[in-house]
Every structure is written in structure tokens, then in C-alpha cells.
């Protein structure tokens, strides 16, 4: 009975602890919104089902940390370092788990893989998962300061996308660093965030993870693998695909993709109505000259635009330009013969 009561008391202490007890720095050496984004937050629903702490879709059942995602799998080779979020002492490391390179489903979806755990005192412990095999550069008993590199993001453990899983606990109870309290529901009152103001970390309900124009069909597998594969359209008869990759969409949201010719007029436009909450959302439109009754694209500068709407309002808009060349002589001859 005494053990049970003590455990319960510790859980309450973890929930009620003021946010000022610890201040957290950035856990990954990346730039939020550019080289990395948050794909999953702590699951705020203590029972079956999952919601992030703002009642959005960026969580999954029993997720106990925050997933800082790289843009695609190819980014792993750039060597993004996990960073200590506060001063402390390393209490455990794992450094020998293989990097499976996302080649297949993992038996343990919660497997941490190569990892570092740091004791920050006063019951606070942080955890850093899915590091690259052999990259861990700290050892048990070593003291670390905020911002010290711990190891590089890899593909070890139970993961199918490139990210650092970061978790913070007090007396073994999960604490959401964005609210400063343990999860008790997505509409629960919260304390202050644990993040230092210098991190700039705030909740982002929808993030633009990728947008481009390519001659290659932008399948989900290619988008996940390497955006560099999605090379720009080449030639006066090339197909043109406009693609959009979002994190965090909800039922009722919508996205419009458009393309404009050198004369400024739109020649392709499609509205995608989103019918259910999704963590990852991909859409594209594709068009060829023949779809427009043309043999080849008119040469000049083209524009692509994506717009994202939530609750009927435009929440995001991005544009880019690309050039299509004048037709080659053989293109013109084909056109005349046609």
C-alpha cells in the first residue's frame, strides 16, 4: 500500500509542478519551419484515441513525446544533431542498434532505438530516440550543458520517417513541454510551456512540408524519400506536376493548386476538399500540353500557387516560378504534321 500511495503522490507532483522548475532548449540542431517540423505532439487523450493538446490530429495513441521531423529521408545524411535541452548527467545510452533505413515495418512501433537519457535533477529526465548507429557521442556519467550535441538523427528503432523523438518526464510521469503539465485531455487547462523563449517553439496546427513543380509523378513514396528526385519540368512537351505536402489537416479544410502561363492566365486549377483529420496530407495536379489542346508549351515564365484554407479562411499561400523553353524544331514539325 505504501508503494502505491508513493507512486500516486509522485504522479500528482509531476502534474502540478510549476513550469519554472525547468527551462528547455531546442532538442535538435535544425530550423523549425525550414529544415525540420513537428509531426507529432504528446497524445493529450489519456484513454483510447489520440489528439494533440490543441485537439488537432498531430498525435497518435499513447505517444509520449514530441517528434521533430526532417523534411525527407535524404536529409539524414546531413547529420542533424540531437541537443541536450537542459544541464544534467547522462544516465544511459544505446548506440549499437541498426539503422533500418525505413526498409520495412518494425515489430515495436514504440522502440526507441539508439538513444540518450539525461537526468536533470529534481525528478526531471529527458529522452532522445532514433539516433544513428554509432553516432552517440556522450557516455553514462558524463555531465552535459544545454545545447551539447548527443548524437545524430538516424533510422533506428520503431520509426518510418526521419525524426528525433524527444520526451521529458518528471518522476516517470510524461509532461507535455508545450503545456508544462501531464496530459489530461486536449481541452484541459495548462501551465506555462517548458520551452525557453529563445527556441521559438509554438504549436503549429498545419505546416507546409513541401511544395514544388516537377516532371516526375510526385508519389508519396518519392516525397518521403527525397524531394531532390522531383526535378523541374524540362522541354516544351514535358508534363507539369504541382505537388503539395502538408502536416496537420482537419476535416473541412481545403487546398487549391493552380498553374499560370506566361500570359498570367490560369491553365490548371483544382480544389481538394479534406474530409477527415490527417497527420500527413499530399495532393498534386498534373497537366500536359495536349490537355490544353496544344502541341507544346508556350515558352516563358510560369507560376505555380498553392493555397490552404481552414474554417473558410486562407491560412497559407505560397508561389514559385519556373521556366519552360521554346520548342525544338522536331516539336514544331510534329505539331505541323498533327
pLDDT for 170: 95
pLDDT at residue 126 tops 50:
yes
Q: In what order do the strands lie in the sheet with 240-249?
A: 207-214, 240-249, 278-287
**Number of H-type helices and E-type strands within the chain:** 3, 17
Closest-CA residue to 168 (of 88, 64, 69, 93): 64
pLDDT for 284: 96
Residues 27/128, Cβ–Cβ less than 8 Å = yes
Query: Is pLDDT larger for residue 63 or for residue 21?
Result: 63
Show the cell assigned to 173: 510521469
pLDDT at residue 11 tops 50:
no
What residue spans of 96-232 are helical by DSSP H?
A: 220-225
Q: From CA 144, how far away is CA 135, in angstroms rounded?
A: 16
pLDDT for 262: 95
Q: Which residues of 223-251 are buried (b: 16+ CB within 10 A; e: fewer)?
A: bbeebeebeebeebbbbbbbbbbbbbbbe
Q: How many CA atoms lie within 13 A of 332 on its CB side?
A: 7
Reported as a single tens digit per residue, the pLDDT across 230-264 is 999 988 999 999 999 998 999 999 999 999 999 99
> What is the sign of the dihedral through the CA atoms of 74, 79, 84 and 89?
positive
pLDDT for 80: 98
pLDDT at residue 7 tops 80:
no
Closest-CA residue to 92 (of 56, 110, 118): 118
Q: Which domains does the chain have, with CATH numbers?
A: 14-199 (2.70.70.10), 207-337 (2.60.40.2550)
Amino acid at each position: 500500500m505504501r508503494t502505491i500511495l508513493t507512486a500516486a503522490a509522485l504522479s500528482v507532483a509531476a502534474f502540478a509542478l510549476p513550469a519554472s522548475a525547468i527551462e528547455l532548449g531546442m532538442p535538435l540542431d535544425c530550423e523549425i519551419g525550414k529544415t525540420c517540423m513537428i509531426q507529432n505532439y504528446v497524445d493529450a487523450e489519456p484513454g483510447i484515441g489520440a489528439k494533440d493538446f490543441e485537439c488537432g490530429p498531430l498525435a497518435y495513441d499513447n505517444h509520449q513525446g514530441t517528434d521533430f521531423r526532417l523534411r525527407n529521408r535524404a536529409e539524414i545524411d546531413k547529420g542533424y544533431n540531437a541537443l541536450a535541452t537542459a544541464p544534467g548527467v547522462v544516465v544511459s545510452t544505446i548506440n549499437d542498434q541498426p539503422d533500418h533505413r525505413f526498409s520495412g515495418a518494425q515489430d515495436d512501433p514504440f522502440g526507441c532505438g539508439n538513444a540518450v537519457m539525461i537526468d536533470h535533477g529534481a525528478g526531471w529526465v529527458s529522452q532522445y530516440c532514433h539516433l544513428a548507429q554509432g553516432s552517440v557521442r556522450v557516455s553514462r556519467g558524463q555531465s552535459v550543458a544545454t545545447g551539447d550535441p548527443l548524437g545524430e538523427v538516424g533510422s533506428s528503432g520503431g520509426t518510418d520517417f526521419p525524426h528525433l523523438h524527444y520526451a521529458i518526464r518528471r518522476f516517470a510521469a510524461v509532461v507535455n513541454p508545450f503545456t508544462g503539465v501531464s496530459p489530461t485531455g486536449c481541452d484541459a487547462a495548462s501551465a506555462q510551456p517548458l520551452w525557453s523563449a529563445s527556441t521559438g517553439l509554438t504549436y503549429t496546427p498545419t505546416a507546409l512540408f513541401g511544395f514544388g513543380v516537377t516532371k516526375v509523378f510526385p508519389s508519396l513514396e518519392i516525397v518521403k524519400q527525397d524531394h531532390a528526385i522531383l526535378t523541374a519540368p524540362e522541354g516544351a512537351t514535358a508534363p507539369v506536376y504541382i505537388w503539395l505536402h502538408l502536416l496537420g489537416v482537419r476535416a473541412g479544410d481545403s487546398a487549391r493548386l493552380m498553374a499560370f502561363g506566361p500570359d498570367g492566365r490560369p491553365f490548371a486549377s483544382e480544389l481538394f476538399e479534406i474530409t477527415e483529420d490527417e497527420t500527413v496530407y499530399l495532393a498534386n495536379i498534373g497537366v500536359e500540353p495536349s490537355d490544353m489542346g496544344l502541341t507544346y508549351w508556350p515558352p516563358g515564365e510560369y507560376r505555380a500557387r498553392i493555397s490552404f484554407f481552414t474554417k473558410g479562411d486562407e491560412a497559407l499561400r505560397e508561389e514559385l516560378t519556373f521556366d519552360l523553353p521554346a520548342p525544338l524544331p522536331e516539336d514544331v514539325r510534329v505539331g505541323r504534321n498533327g
